[in-house]
Structure 1
Amino acid sequence: MTTSVQKSHLHRIVLNNGIVVLVAENQTADIIAARIFVRAGSSYESQEQAGLTHLLSAVLTKGCDGLSSLEIAEQVESVGASVSADTTADYFLLSLKTVTLDFSEIFTLAGRILRSPTFPEAEVELERRIALQDIRSQQEQPFTIAFDQLRDIMYQNHPYARSALGNEATMSRLTRADLVRFHQTHFRPDNIVISIAGRITPENAIALVEEVFGDWQSPPTEPLLRLDLPELTVEPQIKIKPQQTQQSIVMLGYLGPSVLSDDYAALKLLSTYLGNGLSSRLFVELREKLGLAYEVSAFYPTRLLRASFVVYMGTAPENTQIALSSLRKEVDLLSIMQLEEEALQAAKNKILGQYALGKQTNAQIAQVYGWYEILGLGIDFDRDFQETIASVSAADAMASACRYLREPYVSLVGQEEAVNSATAYFNP
C-alpha cells in the first residue's frame, strides 16, 4: 500500500516496494527532469575498493539488458535528452532531463539502465584507464594535493578521507565482478528516492514510476547494509608536500558537524561570511588589503556525517608563513568577536539569495528535494533551512565557532623551503 504526503506543490509518495517518489509539478517550461538517488555513495566502498562507485557511475550507462552503449546513446541523443550518472560520498545519482513529450520513453530507459546494467568488460577497462589518467593528472595539481592531504589527516581511516577516484592501486584492482556485486547489494527499491520536477501531474508521474519500477522487489532475506564507521576525534596536525610550484597552497581544516547538527546553519553562515565571493572577509582582508592571495576561499559542504570546514589560499612562496598565520587569525577571530549585525545580515542575504537561485530550473528542483530525502532530512528541510539561517544570531555564530573552529589541521603544498619554514608557526 502506498503512503502519500502533500506539501504545497510537492508530493511525496512511498510505493509498496519502498521507493520514495517526490513530484514537483511545474508548468512553466516544457521540460521534465528526474533524479534517481541510491543510498550507496563512496562511503559504502571498502578502503581496498576505493573508487568503485566512481567506476560504476562511469560504466552504468554504457550498456543495459538488451542495449549496447551506442544504442543507449542514440536513443537519448535522438530526442535531445540527457542521461548521466554520478557519485558522491553520501549517495549515487542517475540524472535525466527531456522535453515533456519524451519523458516517458527516457524514464523507462533510465529504469532499464538502473535495474539491469551489463557492465561490458571493454567499457569497464576503458573507464578504468580514464580514471587512472585522472588520478595521475590530479597528482600534479597543487590544490588537489593539498586537499587530499587535509582529508587524510582529518579523517584517517574514515571514508571521507578518500578521493572519489580512489588511488592508482585501488582503481587498478577493480573488476567487473566488483561492480556487479556492489550493484546487486545496494541497488534495490527500498534504498532509492526518485525526484521528478516539471510539466507533469503527480498522478501521471506516480503511474509512470509504478509502471517502470513497481514490479521491482528487494530480497526479503537480505536487510539493507548500514554503515559502521569509526568515530572521529579532533587531533590537529600539519602535513606538507614539497613541490616545485609557482605558488604555495595553504589550507586549514576544522572537523565540523553534519547537516543534522544544530550548529550546521551557523557554520554555513560563517563559511559564506569568510570565503564566498569578492565581498567576503578573506577576499577583502587578505587579497585586497594585504595583497597576499592569488585566490582565497572557504567551504563547508553539506554532509550526512561530520563535514570539514575549510579555508585556503594560494600565495607567493615567500608569503607562505604570513598567509598561514593570517588565515588562522581570521578564523580565530570568529571565536573571539561577534560578527557585526550588518556583516551577519549580508551573509544571510547572500546564502538565501544563492539558495533561491539554486532552485530555478526543474533539474535544480528535482535535485534539491531528492537530495534532502536521501539524506534523511525530509521535505520540510527546504523551509526549515531558510528559517534557521534567518534566525541565526551573532551569539549563535560565535558559539558554533567556539565549538568547532578552534583547532585546525594544516596542509601545505609548495616549494620546500617555503613550506618547511611555515611549519614553525603552527601551534594547534
Structure 2
Amino acid sequence: MELFKLTNGIEVIFEKIPYVHTLSLGVYVKSGSAYENKKNNGISHLIEHMVFKGTKKRSARDIAKQTALIGDDINAYTENESTVFYGNTTTENFEAFAEMFADMIINSAFEEKSLEKEKNIVENEIDMYNDSPDDIVQEQLELSCFPDEPVGFAVCGSKENVEAFTREEVYERYLEYYIPENMVISIAGNLEIDRVKEVIENNFGVKGFSTRKSIRSAELTSLEIRNQLVNKLNTPYTKKYTGKKSKKVRYVPAFKAVHKDIEQLHINVAFPALALYDERRFAMAVLNSYLGESNNSLLFQKIREDLGLAYSVSSYSSNYMFTGLMLIDMAVNAANAENACEGLFELLNDVKEKGISESELLIHKEQLVTELIMEDESMSYKMETNGSAVFFGKYKDEGGNDDPLRYIVELDEKIRRVREVSLKEVNELLKNFIDFSKMSMCIVGNGEEIEFNKIEKEYLKWRS
C-alpha cells in the first residue's frame, strides 16, 4: 500500500496485487447532492453523465470504442457525498486507459447539443426511479427524516431542476468542483509503483489540468487560480466540512406515505445510527448480519419463514460522514400490511430486550469473515475500499487528523476486529439504536387498498 501526491496536490492510493494481470482505477470527486441546495439539486449527477459525452479530442462514440478496445468497463455513480468514476483494464493497457480516463474527467466538453440530449436521458432516469418503489421508499424516507439537510436530498434532483439547468451553469459548476483539491485517485493491480507515479502524474497532474479553460475562456493554468474556485462552495452542508458550522446533521423522526398504484406495500423503517468509519462499525456489521443480511437472519426467518408475512425483508446501514441510519426494508401484500408492521415492531422490541445469544453471535461473525475474504479477492473491491477510506478521511476529520491512511484496514485486521466483537458490544448497539422514539417510517403502496392511517397509528403507538 502506498500513498503519494501529484504535483498539483491530488492524493493517490495504490495497492500492488502481484498475482493478477488486471487493474482497477477509480477517481473520487467531492461532488454530490450534499453540496447542493434546493435550486441546483441534481446538478452533480448531471455533470457525471456529461463527463462521458466527449472532450476536445474524443467524441462520446470514441470513448465507447476505446473502452471496448482497452478496458473491461468504464462507469460512474453519484451519491450524496461523492461522485466516483471507475473502470478495469489489463496491466498492459494502463497508460492508454489512464490517459482516456483523465481526458474525460479533466477536459469534458459540455457541448450544448449533448447537454440537452443528456438532460432528457436524466429525466428518463428519474422516471425509472419513480417507477421503482424500492428506490422511492428510501429516497422519501431520507427527505423526511433529514428535513432541509442536503445530505438527504435526492441524488438525481427533480425533472424541473434538470430541465432548467443551462450549459453555462453546469459547466462552471464542473470547473468549480472538478479540481485537484477535491479529488482522490485509487488504483489496485499488478503494477510497479514508479510506473504508476509517472503515468498518473503525466495525465492527472499539472500538465493534465493545464489544458482546461473556463466558459469565459479564462486560462486555468495554476493550482492557485483553480483552488480559488473552492471558495464558492457555500451550501450549508459544505460548511460542516470547513468547521464554520456544527458537524451535526439534524435528524427528525418522520412518517411518510406515498400512493403508488402497485400490488405490494414497500416499507422502510429507520433509526439514527453510526456515521461513516465509526469505531463501532465492525460490531454494527455483525448486528446487521444477525438482523437481516441473509436468509439466516432474524428478520428473514421470523417475518418470512415463520409468519409468512413478506416475500423480502432485510436490514442494512446507510452511512454518511456525519450521520447514519440503520434501515429495515420489507415488501408485503396489502392484506398483510398491518400484521407485518405489527410483527416487525414486536420482533425488534423483543430482540432489543433479550439481546443476541452467544451462539448466534459466533455464527454471524464467521459469516461476515467469509464475506470479507471473498470480497478481498476482487480488484474493484480493493480499489473502492482504499479510495473511499482516503477520500472520506480527507473531509470527515478535516484539520483533526493528519494520517490519510487511518481508515484503511487490511484483511487480517478486519478479520481480527470482527472476531473480537463481543456480545456486550452488539447488545449495547441493539439497545442504543432500536429506539422507537426516534424511529422513522416510509411506506409506498396503493392507498386505495391499504389504509395508510392505520399503519401510521401503529407507527405512532410504538413511537410514544
TM-score w.r.t. length of structure 1: 0.91
Please state how far the C-alpha of 1:292 moved relative to its aligned partner. Answer: 0.4
**Deviation for aligned residue 1:386:** 4.3
Q: Deviations over 1:374-393 (max 9, x none)?
A: 11074353236544333222
Distance 1:222 1:42, change over 3 A: same
Task: Give the percent of matched residue pairs that are identical in Structure 1 and Structure 2.
Answer: 20
Residue 423 of structure 2, aligned match among 372, 394, 399: 394
CA distance in 1, matches of 2:328, 2:373: 25
Q: Residues 117-145 of structure 1: CA distance to partner in whole angstroms, max 9, x if unpaired?
A: 11122221222112112212322332223
Matched, 1:212 2:203: yes
Deviation, structure 1 residue 418: 3.4
Q: Tell me which residue corresponds to 2:107.
A: 116
Partner of 1:415: 446
Contact 1:154 1:255 in 2 (8 A): no
1:82 shift after superposition: 2.6
Q: What CA distance in whole angstroms lies between the structure 2 residues aligned with 1:111 and 1:242?
A: 44
Q: Aligned partner of 2:22: which letter?
A: I
Alignment pair present for 1:382 and 2:373: no
Q: Distance in 1 between matches of 2:381 and 2:277?
A: 22
Aligned 8 A contact 2:147 2:251 in 1: no
- Which of the numbers 284, 290, 308 marks the counterpart of 1:291? 308
1:425 aligns with 2:458: yes
Aligned in 2, Cα 1:178/1:266: closer, same or farther, shift over 3 Å?
farther
Correspondence for 2:145: 154
Matched residue SS, 1:78 = helix
User: Displacement, 1:288?
Assistant: 0.3
Match of 1:140 in 2: 131
**From 2, 25, 33, the counterpart of 1:34:** 25
Secondary structure (helix, strand or coil) at the match of 1:179 reads: helix
1:58 aligns with 2:89: no
Q: CA deviation at 1:179?
A: 2.3
State the Cα distance separating 1:223 from its structure 2 match: 7.0
Whether 1:326 aligns to 2:320 is no
Counterparts of 1:231-242 in structure 2, within 5 Å, are: 231-242=248-259
Q: Deviations over 1:235-254 (max 9, x none)?
A: 32322123332111222111
Q: Aligned pairs, how many?
A: 419
Is the 1:250–1:323 Cα contact (8 Å) retained in structure 2? no
Show structure 1 runs of 5+ residues with no match.
1-9
Aligned partner of 2:36 among 21, 42, 45: 45
Task: Determine the structure 2 residue equivalent to 1:86.
Answer: 77
How far apart in 1 are the matches of 2:136 and 2:19? 44
Match of 1:365 among 373, 382, 401: 382
* CA–CA distance in structure 2, aligned partners of residues 273 and 145 of structure 1: 26
Q: Retained in 2: the 8 A contact 1:36–1:192?
A: yes
Match of 1:222 in 2: 228
Written as runs of structure 1 = structure 2, the 5 A alignment for 1:156-171 is: 156-171=147-162
Distance in 1, Cα, partners of 2:167 & 2:369: 44
Q: Is the 8 A contact 1:38 1:192 kept in 2?
A: yes
Report the counterpart of residue 246 of structure 1 in structure 2.
263
Moved more, 390-399 or 275-284: 390-399
1:262 aligns with 2:279: yes
Compute the displacement of 1:234 (Å): 4.3
